[in-house]
Structure formats: structure tokens, C-alpha cells
A and B are shown apart, each in its own frame.
Chain A
Amino acid sequence: MRPFIVLFALSLASGSAASTDGLSSMSLEDLLRVEVAGASRYAQPLSEAPSAVSIVAAEDIRRFGFRTLAESLQSVRGVYATNDRAYSYLGIRGFGRPGDYNSRILLLVDGDRRNDTIYDQAMVGHEGPVEMDWVKRVEFVPGPSSAIYGGNALFGIVNAVLWSGTDLEGSRVTAEAGSAGMARLGLLAGRGIKTGGQAGDWTVGLSVYRKRGGDVHFPEFVGVGGGDGIARGLDGERYAKAFAKLNLGGWHTSIALSSRHKDVPTAYFSTDFNAPGNFTLDQHAYADIGHAATLSENLTRDVRLHVGTYRYDGEYVFLSSSSVVGRDEARAQWWGAEYRLTWTGLEGHKLLLGAEAQRNGRVDQRYFDLSPRTNHLDSRHRGSSVGFFVQDEWRFAPRWMTNLGLRADRITNFGTALSPRAALIHHPIPEASMKLIHGRAFRPPNAYERFYHDGNNTQKPSAGLRPERIATTELAADMAVTPTLRLGASVYRYRMRNLVEQITDPADGLLVFVNQSPIHARGAELEAEAMLTGGWRLRGSIAAQRTHQDSGGEPANSPRRLSKLLADGPLFDTGWAFGLNLQSIGSRLSANGSRVPAHVAGNLVLRQGEAAKGGEWSVGLYNLSGRRHLDPSSSEHVQNALPQDGRQIRVRWESALQ
């Protein structure tokens, strides 16, 4: 019985929170025995993923004034962002299918999935549940990661790591104003907690945003209704977002809410041009609670329960053509559980075992005319998924490491999918590393692709869709040639099967989703970072890729060249710093096969170098040239390409309070 008594005594004592003074008087040996408080102790940071991870650090977010996740990811090699004035989309290594709602990218916030269960959408613009001010760093893992994360992780994972209370120890208030009647207010606050035998922290964030929106000129609509092709005052946007998280003892809990309303000026889906009333509304709510515990010296366990809801409303004005306003409503609710064990009992190994189960209790899509009310679609579904995964990280020789992972997913209606990944990592000298990675991933067609239709007016149901599959191989190297010059390079090959894409069925002229013939991509990326004298820093990357479809031709929105140049540093002795960010993107095809020209776009941000009393000011000029660049459009647009914002200014004030 002795073990029981010892155990209960220890449980009741429940440890004492060591003070900093207590810690600094401890020996190194004793320090290595102190148990670390908080949930982060069990999470494997994504930055340790076996891949060529790119990181947008907190300093970069400030230096370059990134306003959304999409904008920050655009600084990453091989990544490009597009916008259709409703949502932001990411293209990765030549894959950026117009109108795919980012369903092939996994969005994580503090390591937790944020794709919804209808469109599988990774929302990386203002529509998403994340506010840029809350983000401490953005981690981007290119390539498939289904071996750990299951579906959607085909082209990459975006993980937004939020600031925590121990980072903040106080609050930050921000106010912004800018072009097109933009105004934004934000609050972020948090502190460490030490009570009794426990330690942890709390964090809260709030943000409200409003943009009146300017006029947008679409040459395709010149003459429509005798007009000049300008959609006037139909580009407005507003959102409100909130989050809170608490870590205490082994427990962690969080909640996040967001609502975004966007007017859509593009007359998509054949709606009336220059008519008010076309909008999209996206609302998210997430909550989770988890507990992490050390079961033995080498074994830790993390368990987490989560719930989420997503709501989409969209209205489409057809008053001039058919005297109706159509309304889309999508409602999703899901809940699930995750269980993870990490074992480090065998020398050189780190073994991860996990199980996940999710129930999609509500997957509803409706489409109807508002007045008179006529139902066209009323689709109600449920489903569930279970996944098991195992990963071993093994240092098998000095400077050599392997990472082997395998995940099995069972999803309603789609049977079992296996996703393996293998990586070999070698670092011959401390300042250089090489990685060889092979991975496979899958994505089951989402509820939108499977069930959405508008009563066979323009779109019919898509039966018999098979899951998409991708296999990739990548070789990546990274080296600091000198203390001030770092070089990175990678070459890769992707092969994708069963790509789900919307086409017009020649038999009946209706839109339908089908599996496409295989797509192959090969590419190379080169990156350099140099520290110059005077505290200036220069970073640049070039990506070249070639994608072709077996059925022939070049896929849409697949630029062959992407170049980026970022420069930042102090502005001489003025006390101000600058961040210049230039992006060049090669020509691309739009969904209807017309060519969208290449362009270069640049942003410049000036900010006070040191936080002064009374707050820190920064001024951002976005799209320096003022030229309205074009992004390829998807099939629901009449336009071949959609104009982006012209020159914009943003003035930002931030004050930190202790």
C-alpha cells in the first residue's frame, strides 16, 4: 500500500510555486527538476516540425505592419495571397485554385484547428477568427502534414501563436485610422498568475474594425445599365473579435468569437451590378478545455475537449434580372476530443501517440429566395471522424535525426485514409542543416462541394467525389555562410490526384464539382538574409515552379515566378525605423483561361524605433505605386481578374501599460 500513501500525500501537497528568488538560489541540478507550469510544456511547437518551417516573428509583424495573416504569409518564400473582395486566399508553390476557399490549407491558432466543417475554410483575412495584434508569431509549414493533423493539411499549415499573459504582463491599447474610412480599436491584456501552489497566466483580446470602403472600377461592367463600371460605396467591411485564454496548473481553457460583415461589389454569381445588398457574414465561436499531466518521469499526457460553431449568411441581389434576392445560410456545429501521450523513456527517442474524434452534429446548407420565400436547397447532414497517429523523433547518431509519422483517419462515407511522413535531418556543422522529407496527405471533399446546389438553376449536386490525395518529396538546406549572411534553398516535387474542382458540365451547362486528372508540380526556392551595417537588414527570396495537369495545360492562378524583397532598419538618427516589403508575382491564368499580367507591389511602414511616452506611432503606406493590381477571379465572376486596393495609408498608435 505504500505507493498509494506516497502518491496521495504528493497529490495533496500539490507542489509549491517557486518564486523567482527561490529559483535563482537553486542549483542547476535542482532547476532541472522543477516542474514547469502551464499547458505549453506538452505542446510540440510547430517550429519543431520536420519541414522547412518559415516563421514571421513578432518583430517582423511590427516592422512591416502586417494587417492580416495573409499579408504576413506573403512575405514567406513560395507563398502568395489573392483577394476577391470577399475573402483572402493563399497560393502555395503554384497551387492556388481560384474559389477553393483555402480548403487545402490547415489553419491553427495556438495549435488548435480553425477550419470550419462546411467549406473547410482557412480564413486568413479579416474574415478569420484571429486578429493580427494578438499574434506573437506566424509559423508556416509547407507541404503535407496529414501525418499528425489529418485532413486539409495538403499544401501547408499556418499556425498563429498568440501572445500569452506572461509575455504581456500588462496591456496594449491600439487605435488605427486609414484610407477608405477605416478605423480600428484594439485591446490586448494579460498577466502571469501565481496563487498558492499553482502558476499560469491569463490573456484577453478585443478588437473592433470598420471600413466604409471606396469605389471599385470594373471595366467589364462599363455600359451595363448605362453605367460607368464603378461600384460605388459597396466595398464596406466591419468586424468584431474577442478571445480569452487561461492556463492554470495543468489546465488550459480558451474561448474565441468573431463576426465579420463584408459588402461584395463584384457582382459575382450574376448578381446585379452596382446594387447594394450583396454581402457575406461569417461568424465563428470556439471554446475548449484541456488538461496536461506528467504521468511519470518520461510520460506526459494531454487531453482536450473542444466545441465550435460557424455561421455563414450571404445575400445575392437579382432584382433587375429576376426580381428576387437569394439568401445562402450555412450552419455548422461540431465537438470533439483529443488525447496525446508523449514518451521519452528510450534514449534518443521522442514518441508521440494520439487519438482524435470529432462529431459534426450540424452541417446545414440552405438556399432560398427571400420574397416570395422559395426554397431551393435544404441540406442537413451529420458526420463524424476518428483519427489515430503515431510519430517517432529519433536522434540515431550525432547530428542525425529522423522523424517518422503515420496517421489513420476514418471519416463518415470515405472509409480509412493513411497518411505517412518521413523526414531525415542532418546538420554537418552547427550553422548548416539539411532535410529530406517525403509526405502524403488527403482531403475528403467538403460539405459544400458534396451537397451544395441551387435547385439546378446554375449548380447541380456533385455525386461520387473521391478524396484528394497528394504525395510530395522535398529537399531543403539552410546555412549561415557568415555571421551576417544566411542562405536557404529547397527543391520539391508534388503529385496530386483527384483534385476537386468546379466545372461546367457540357451536357447540361450546370456547374458541378468533379475530380480532376493528376497535377504535377516541380519547383525550387532560394532565400537569403543579410545583416548590413547601420542595423539594416535585407531579406529576399525567389521561387520558380512549373505545374501541369495530365489533361494538358497550366492550372489557374499558378505563377511561375515569385520574388520577395524585405528591407528594414533604423532611419539614420531620426529615432524612426522603416520596413519596406516588395512582392513580385509572375503572370497567371484566371479560371476562364485569360492571362492576368505580372505585377510588383510594395508596402512601406515607418514607426518610432523606441516606444516613447504617450505611445508609439507608425505610418503605413500600402501599395506604394497606387496602381490597382489584378488577381485572377474564380468561375462565379464575370470579370477575368479582380482589381485590388489602390494606395492606402494607415496611421497606428499603440500604447503599452504595465
Chain B
Amino acid sequence: MTQIMEGSHAVAEAVRLSKPGVISAYPITPQTHIVERLAEMVADGLLEADYITVESEFSALSACLGASATGVRVYSATTSQGLALMFEVCFNAAGMRLPLVMTIANRALSAPLSIWNDHQDSISLRDSGWLQLYAQDCQEAHDLHYIAYRVAEDHSVLLPAMVCFDGFVLTHTYEPVDIPGQEEVDAFLPAFSPYQRLDARDPISFGMYATPDYYMEFRYEMERAMQRAKGVLKECGKEFGERFGRDYSDLVESYRLEDADTALVAMGSLCGTVKDAIDEMRGEGKKVGLLNLRVFRPFPFEDVKKALSGVSRVAILDKNVSIGSKGAVGLEMRDTLYGTGIEILDCIAGLGGRDIRKRDVRRIVGLAEAGGGDIFYGLREEVL
């Protein structure tokens, strides 16, 4: 049933319907409303889960890791500094092949302190072995959790997954969201069936020592699982579409790209504003389109290359920066499009919550057409 609700509550509903056995999280702005609502659901008996309260994000994810190893579905949520504190546990969970699902309410990293949105937090964990999905609206933020559990728990994948959605811009926005019934969700997302689990009667260990003779093979197996995840994402996204009417079978979403000369590339909530700007520019005869990277890990090289095969230039809106290099999306695009002759402009934009308007999108298209070099877009003039 479609209801109007806050994005954070839409995510909490998806978690409730996914029936995790253990939840552990530490509240941090702008993730707080998700975990507050889940705590209420557990206290009110609407969700039968152990809600483990902890003193830090490090402990929250550690509790989830341990619980997952015993064979239950687990959930956590965090953002920014909280995710930074989880850094070590993130790599452990992936290396132990535990299918945790965690929501990232994307926020900038300190210092200086910023509670506002960009993608620096999750992007900084791009090498950790977690799948990363980015939601463009509250409905997608809800839906992608079911897909994340299905894919993460698939025995051909067995890697943890982050569902990333923009802090404040989506977490604190009220808009209509279709919440499916429990039976429909159960049919799509059956109970977790662990590949192996901790059991005192049949002892095994996770994450043990690997000497130089074996460590590389473990990493290679993770890479292979990540590549297999592409196919599983497509299958699950297609099945989700058949069951719920919202199709996620493509790892990338193409918007008006068919005959586009210039393609914008973005992730997350910015895609909505970009689409509106594209419609305006199309009305003026400008051939522009959008590539929405819904999946950043595994990076969909083939899908991106195919979707952009007809364009002359690409302008990337990167809500993160690898200081000393480029934006993370820009780097992937340069790799993907190497040798195609497509011109690439990487714009670092919207860091720390800087608002991006339709007029900014139009200006960035203008910059791409003019053939300028990579920039931090929209800086205050006094620093130039």
C-alpha cells in the first residue's frame, strides 16, 4: 500500500519485512530515525529480533558479524564517522564471506565537521568487498534492501552489502512509498539459509590466519564472487520487477540516452534533479541524457560501456573526491571508456551538502561542451 512517510521510516519498514534476527546499531545523524524506529518496532513486538545496544559503531558491526556467523540474518545502519569507525570490521565481514546488510545514510566525513550529505563515507569503503547500491528516492531505498539481502545471501555471492541513500536529502524527506505486504516479501526473500555457520557441536572457524601461500587466493575468490554478483543482481532485480512492478534488472539506469550527445553520470538522489534538468534541456533541443549508477560495487563496466556507446562526451557529478587524484566515479569512467574517444569531464560537486540545482546541471553540461578540464564545481570565488 502506498503511504506517505519519511525516507528513514521507509527503510525501517523494509528491514522489518526482511525479518532480521539480530539488529545492532549506534545512532548517528542522519541515520538516527531508522534505528530509533527499529528499536520501537522491537519493543512493540512488531519485529521479533534481538536489538543489541552497544557503545560504538565498531561494536555494532562486530555484534552483527558474530551473529551472522551463527547463521541469522542481521542488520545495521550508520553513516560518516560511524562507518569510519567500522572500517576494520567491514573488511573482516567481507573476508569471512558474511552476508550482512547495512544502510548507509550518506554523509560527509570530518574534519571540518559536517553532518550534511555527500558520498565520501561509503566511497571510502569501496575496496572493502561489500556490494554498494545507491538509491535515488525513498522507494528505491526501501526496495533495494530486499534485493541486497537476496544477493548477499546467495551462495554464489556471500558478500555483505551496503544500501546507500543520501543523508537528509532522502532520510528526512516525506514522500509516497509503496510498502508491500509480509507475504509478498516472504515470497521474494525466504528465510536466510547459511552456507556454513558457527555451531558448538560441529566446530569451524571463520577468518583465520592465511599465510602468503594462501591469502591471495582468498582475495581472488572474493573478486570472483563480486563478479558473479552482477548476474545475481540482474536476476533478482528482474524477479523483483515481476513481483512488485518496479524493475531493477539493470545495474545502471539509462535516461534519455538513446540519441544523446552528452551524458551526465550520477549516483543517488541527485539523479532526480538531473532528470528534471535534462527534460528542460531536451525541450530546448539539447541532446542530453543521464546514466544513473545504481550499483557501484561490483562496478558494471560492460553495462556502462554499452549504455554510453553513442555519446560524444560524459560529464560526471562526483559527490566525493580522492584527494590527490580524482573523484571515484570519474576514475571508474576513465577506465571503462578508455580508448573509445569519448570526452570526459569529472566535476567534484555537492560535497558537504552543497545544494545542486537544475541550473548547476545545465552549467556542467555547458562546461563539458566547452571541453574544459576536471574541476571542483561551484567553489566560492575567494579561494580561486
Chains A and B belong together in one complex: no
